[in-house]
């Protein structure tokens, strides 16, 4: 029986596209906008940020050096959070309907700049009981450690946890750690998965 429902954040609850931020950062960088993604991939800077190994302001400093970026910290935060779209993928009504009946958690690879904005801007996060965030627990999906932390915070057995994520490798890792997990394709598909488990 399902007792806890865990959601990935980006492209499950809130859709995002990094190109939205890159297009705004481009005019402020010494490199072409088409090179931003490749430069970021050439380092472990984002991974260090999302695993909590570097704080927000030093991250922005290193990123600015990497891209030849000229901006203030506050301006950068506004640009960096522009990756997210206004409308959620999963209806707020669905999560509100689960609230109080199941323990609800977010299990996400994210960073403090993104998450502080998301929690402030999207009322849907008010329905969640807990947040298992990579930068806070010091581990990134699909590492087993973040799933162990999530199960512990869910307060039930692994097989009583249902998890959905848009990335297949993260779903596979959840299953390897004993969770019931499915890849997120759409809100309608997720509702069907929950119905088959007697959740809805």
Q: What is the pLDDT of residue 41?
A: 94
Q: What is the pLDDT of residue 158?
A: 98
pLDDT-based confidence at 199, cuts 50/70/90? Answer: very high
Render the burial of 135-159: b for 16+ CB within 10 Å, e for the rest. bebebbbbeeebbbbbbebbeeebe
Q: What is the pLDDT of residue 108?
A: 98
Q: What is the pLDDT of residue 114?
A: 98
Q: What is the pLDDT of residue 46?
A: 96
Q: What is the pLDDT of residue 115?
A: 98
- Of 28-32, 138-142, 158-162, which gets the smallest average pLDDT? 28-32
* pLDDT tens digit sequence for 150-184: 999 999 999 999 999 999 999 999 999 999 999 99
Interval 26-46 mean pLDDT: 94
Q: What is the pLDDT of residue 3?
A: 98
Domain boundaries, the chain: 4-15+86-196, 18-83
Q: Which CATH number is associated with domain 4-15+86-196?
A: 3.40.50.1000
Q: Which CATH number is associated with domain 18-83?
A: 1.10.150.240
Q: What is the pLDDT of residue 93?
A: 97
* pLDDT tens digit sequence for 84-137: 999 999 999 999 999 999 999 999 999 999 999 999 999 999 999 999 999 999
Q: What is the pLDDT of residue 133?
A: 98
pLDDT-based confidence at 141, cuts 50/70/90? Answer: very high
């Amino acid at each position: 029986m399902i007792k806890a429902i865990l959601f990935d954040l980006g492209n499950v609850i809130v859709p995002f596209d990094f190109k939205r931020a890159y297009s705004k950062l481009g005019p402020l960088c010494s490199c072409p906008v088409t090179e931003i993604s490749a430069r970021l991939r050439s380092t472990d800077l984002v991974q260090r940020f999302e695993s909590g190994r570097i704080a927000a302001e030093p991250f922005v400093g290193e990123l600015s050096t990497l891209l030849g970026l000229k901006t203030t910290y506050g301006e950068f935060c506004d640009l960096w959070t522009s990756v997210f779209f206004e409308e959620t993928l999963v209806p707020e009504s669905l999560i509100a309907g689960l609230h109080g009946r199941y323990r609800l958690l977010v299990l996400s690879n994210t960073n403090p700049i993104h998450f502080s904005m998301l929690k402030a801007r999207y009322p849907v996060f008010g329905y969640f009981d807990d947040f298992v965030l990579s930068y806070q627990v010091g581990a990134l999906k699909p590492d087993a450690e973040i799933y162990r932390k999530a199960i512990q915070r869910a307060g039930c057995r692994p097989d009583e946890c249902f998890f959905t994520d848009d990335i297949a490798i993260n779903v596979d890792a959840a299953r390897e750690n004993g969770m019931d997990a499915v890849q997120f394709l759409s809100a309608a598909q997720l509702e069907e998965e929950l119905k088959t488990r007697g959740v809805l």
